[in-house]
Structures are given as structure tokens and as C-alpha cells.
Structure 1
Amino acid sequence: MRTRRLIIGVIIALIVIIGAGFAFGALHKTKTNAKTVTLGIMPGGKQEDAIWKVVKANAKKSYGIDLQFVNFTDGDQPNKALASHDIDLNAFQHYAYLKSWNQSNHGDLVAIGDTIITPIHLYSTQYKSVDALPDGATIAIPNDLTNESRALHVLKNAGLITLNSSQGLQATVKDVKSNPKHLVIKEVDASQGPRTLPSVAAAVINYNFAQSAKIPASDSIFVEPFNADSHQWVNIIVANKKDRNKQIYKDIVSAYNSENVKATIEKEYPDGGEKAAWDLKF
């Protein structure tokens, strides 16, 4: 009897040990399979939230990734946080901004995927077309270096001016090569573009400021085309250079570059204020 009890005791002990082993293995497996990526963004309102909600769902469903967002309100902070590895990725800037930031901060951040482009418009409340702009007309453009260059390229693509090619994509008003209509180019703070519009013939205004000021789409007389000039304004997902080939980060790009995200962008921006950029031809 004593021997039988001993055998039963040994069997029970073995069951407990094996069970604990399975539990530990399951726990270890759960921890190993838990994949979290933190991505820094700037607050963009309900429309942007709707887009990121779909991206997050794609990342979870297709790749088993828990995509977590870190919100920043200062445009300089997402890159600093990424460079110091406080976050894994960020998605708030275009190629031109990243290039400028890397140069100014001796940074080593790289784009790993395209997201959207927000075309900039030339608006006018007085004229219905670019051709109707008279000789000597005043055109307002943003005065910060990035948006000034972008606005000048809009005027160039509208056929109003030409630019010195040596400046490439970093042009200022000093780089205007020809100005057949003798336009007066007035530099103003980007946020003041909408207020300036009633007093000038036309103004190049960023979409977010035009939208906030409720400027109707009918006042747009020219929209930035998708070409070599505008490619630098494509928004991007950014990583540290040494992490650029990590599969988990490539999966986040794929989660964004999907048909349901594109459909959501089109739904949230029926006026074309934002366009899915990953399959555009520049």
C-alpha cells in the first residue's frame, strides 16, 4: 500500500511539473510573439485619426503587430524622439523636411515608405483661371524656406515664372529667372495666406490653412501637379538608418500602403485634399 501511494505521489508530482512547464512555455511563447511598434505622429484631427485606425487594424490583423501611437505637438520633437530611440518610427513629415532636419541636426534618419501627399493650391477670389491674372498682379506666397520654394514651383508649373535650375528644389524669390507677367511676389507668413487672399490677385496657400479658413475649392485656380518638383512633398514613414531593413517596420509600411487605407483617404478627403502617394507616378 505504501509503495502504491508513493507511485501515485510521484505521478501527481510529474503532472504538476509538466503542467507548469507547459504554462511557462505558453507564457514564454506569448511574450516572444508580442510585437509592438511605437510610431510618432502629429495630431491631425478626425480625418487623420480615421486613417491611422485602419492602419492599426491592418498591422494587427495581417502581421500580428500592436501599433501604438505617440502624439507630439512640436514639429521638431518626433525626429528627436526617433533619433534617441524613444520611439521606433514616425510619420509626420515629407522628404524635404527630413532632408533639412538631417542637415541641421547631423541626423541619420531615413524614409522607409510613402504615405500621402497634400497638394498645395493657388487660390483667387478675383480671377477664375491662371491665364486671367493680369500683368503686374500681386501673388502672395508663404515666406518660410520650405513652403516658399514649394509655392514658387507651383507658380513655375502654372507657367507663370521660370526658376534658375541651379537652385534645384530649394528656390527663393531671388531665383526667379523669368517673370513674363511682371508679377509682384509678396512673401507672407503661411498662416496668413487666407487673410491676404482678398487683397491680392492670388495666393498660394497650404491645404490645412485653406481648410481652416473655409476657402471653397471653387477658388482654386491651379493645383500642384504630381511630378519631379512635387515628389519631395510626399509624406513618409521614417526610421533610424540602421533599422531601415527591419521586417517588422516594413510590415508597418505595408499596413499603410493598402487598398483599404487608400479608400479611407479618399472617403475622408473627397475634395482631394490628401492623396495616397505610394502608387503615384512622379
Structure 2
Amino acid sequence: MLRRSLLISAFAASLAFAIPAQAAPVKTLKIGVTAGTHAEILRAALPIAKKNGLDIKVIEFQDYVSPNEALAHGDLDANIFQTLSYLKLMNKQHNYGLAPVGKSITEPLTFYSKKYTNLSQLPTGAKIGIPNDPSTEGRSLFVLEQAGLIKLKAGVGREGSPLDVISNPKKLKFVELDPAQTLRSLDDLDAVAVNGNYAYISGLTKTRKGILVEKPGPEYVNYIVVREKDKNAAWVKTLVKSYQDPSVRAFVNKSYKGSVIANF
């Protein structure tokens, strides 16, 4: 009987070793990004995410409105493209119920010109293109104020519009443009504020120096964003960890050489 029991135990043990442990289930995610730097950086994080059990489908957008609408409606699980100030504004205006869960990158806003190589060369009455989305418009005007070209109403900060300009010695004329159209206006205007992702997609960052570059600050860090109800989910923590991996930071530093800043 003892020998039989030993044989049964040995057989059971051999079965235990023969049957492979069941792999953890893979979580499939749809993540929205704007084309360009955000898409490239997320793709650099895919191998890490795969090792951590996430199968990520990258969904690219050409504008700033659609990624939040898609996330709020459940067509995406997360998006990565926006600053905290823009997210707060969109939540307030549309009641999206979206929450930031991790930092990504900063892309300094830059004024470009095909006519002038220096800010001091801008003539009186120069036509200046600025993005017309509320967050970036105020950001553009704030950069101009910091450069001493205009003065905004007290307390406006980075949320102003051309109506808030109270001093404009050079009589600059502001042309409000869809952010995606700013590049196309370079031939027609004296200078244009271009968001970092659009400047990169067009190759502008490699071919032309800006005449005015924003000083990067914490206000313009971009975030990984999910629906409020998902913010404490286990997969969200895994997503943030995968994106903020040291290898992804190294990719950013090597690929963009300071024009994009990793904030993690």
C-alpha cells in the first residue's frame, strides 16, 4: 500500500510539472493619440505594454476634439495628447467626465516665420496667427506677453483671448486659426504660433528655427487620460507604468533632442 501511495504521489507530481501554468489574460486597449510625436512615443511603449499584459491598438487623430469625444463615448479606453488646462476646459464645457492618470510629454509652443528670422524684426501691424482653440489661444497670447510684445488684462493668465489685450504697441493683428491650419498660413502671415505635434509632422522643427519659443512649464505637460470610472482600474496602472518606462524616456530623448520633453 505504501509503495502504491508513493507511485500515485509521484504520478501526480509529474502531471503538475507537465501542465504549463495558465498565462495571465491579455487586456486589449484602444488608445487615441494625435498623429506625430504622441503616436510615435506610444508605439515605442508597445513592447513594454505587451510584456505587461496589454495589447494596445493605436488610434490616430488629426484634431484635438475627436479624441476626447471618442473616449467619453466609450470608443477608446484612453487618450494621450492634451494638457491639464485643455482637459479641464473640455470637461467643463462638455461634461465628459475624464480624468488624468499619468504624465507624458511637453511640446513647447513655437512661433515660426518665413519672412523674419528674429522677433525684433516684426513690423508694426504684423499679422500673427494663433490657434483658435481656447486653451492654446490663451497660451499663445501669454507667450507674446512674456516676450514683451503685448499686455493682457490682470488675472487673465493663460486663458485670454485677443479681446483681453490691453496694450499692443506694435499694433499686432491676430488671426485666429484652426490649430491644424496654422502651418498652411505661414506664407500669408508674418508669424504663426504652431503646436509642437503639427510642427513635427510637417518637418518644420528640422528645417526652420522659431522666432519665439515658449519656456516649458508644468502647465503644459501632456497627460494620459481615461474615463473617471476607470481611473483606479488595474490596467490603468499597468498602462501608465508601461508608458513611463525608462526605455520610452530614452526613446524621447534620443529621437527629439530637446524639442519634446519627457515628463516622467
Q: Please give the range of the TM-score, normalised by the shorter of the 2 chains.
A: 0.7 to 0.9
**Residue 128, structure 1, aligned to residue 112, structure 2:** no
Question: Could you tell me how far apart the structure 1 residues matched to 2:185 and 2:35 are?
Answer: 25
* Structure 1 residue 34 corresponds to structure 2 residue 25: yes
1:127 & 1:275 partners in 2: Cα distance? 27
Equivalent residue runs for 1:1-282 within 5 Å:
19=15, 23=19, 26-27=21-22, 30=23, 33-36=24-27, 38-42=29-33, 44-45=35-36, 48=38, 50-61=40-51, 64-73=52-61, 76-83=65-72, 85=74, 87-215=76-204, 217-227=207-217, 231=219, 233-270=220-257, 272-278=258-264
**Which AA in structure 1 matches 2:240?**
V
Residue 157 and residue 89 in structure 1: after superposition, are their counterparts in 2 closer, same or farther (change >3 A)?
same
Distance 2:207 2:165 in 1: 28
- Structure 1 residues 79, 128: CA separation in 2 closer, same or farther (over 3 Å shift)? closer
CA separation of 1:68/1:196 partners in 2, compared to 1, >3 Å: closer, same or farther? closer
Task: Write the distance in 2 (CA, Å) between the matches of 1:275 and 1:190.
Answer: 21
- How much does 1:246 deviate? 3.7
- The share of aligned pairs that are identical, in percent, is 34
**CA offset at residue 126 of structure 1?**
2.8
DSSP-derived class of the 2:226 partner: strand
Query: Which structure 1 residue ranges, 5 or more long, are not aligned?
Result: none
Deviation at 1:168, TM superposition (A): 3.7
| Counterpart residue identity of residue 243, structure 1 | D
Shift in CA distance, 217/136, structure 1 to aligned 2, threshold 3 Å: same
Could you say if the C-alpha distance between residues 125 and 72 of structure 1 is closer, same or farther in structure 2, counting changes exceeding 3 Å?
Answer: closer
Note the C-alpha offset of 1:113. 0.8
1:89–1:239 CA contact under 8 A, matched in 2: yes
Deviation at 1:162, TM superposition (A): 1.8
- Structure 1 counterpart of 2:261, one-letter code: K
TM superposition score normalised by structure 2: 0.78
What is the total number of aligned residue pairs between the two structures? 261
* Structure with more of its chain in helix, by fraction: 1
Highest Rg: 1 or 2? 1
Structure 2: gaps of 5 or more residues? none
> How far apart are the structure 2 equivalents of 1:142 and 1:49?
21
Q: What amino acid sits opposite 2:262 in the alignment?
A: A
How many Å apart are 1:223 and its aligned residue? 0.8
The one-character-per-residue Cα deviations of 1:84-117 (angstroms, maximum 9, x if unpaired) are: 5554432233223322321233222110111112
* TM norm structure 1: 0.74
- Give deviations 1:147-184, integer Å, cap 9, x for gaps: 32222122122221121233343211001122122222
Amino acid at match of 2:190: A
On the 8 A contact 2:103/2:221 being kept in 1, the answer is yes
Distance 1:154 1:217 in 2: 22
CA RMSD of aligned residues (A): 3.6
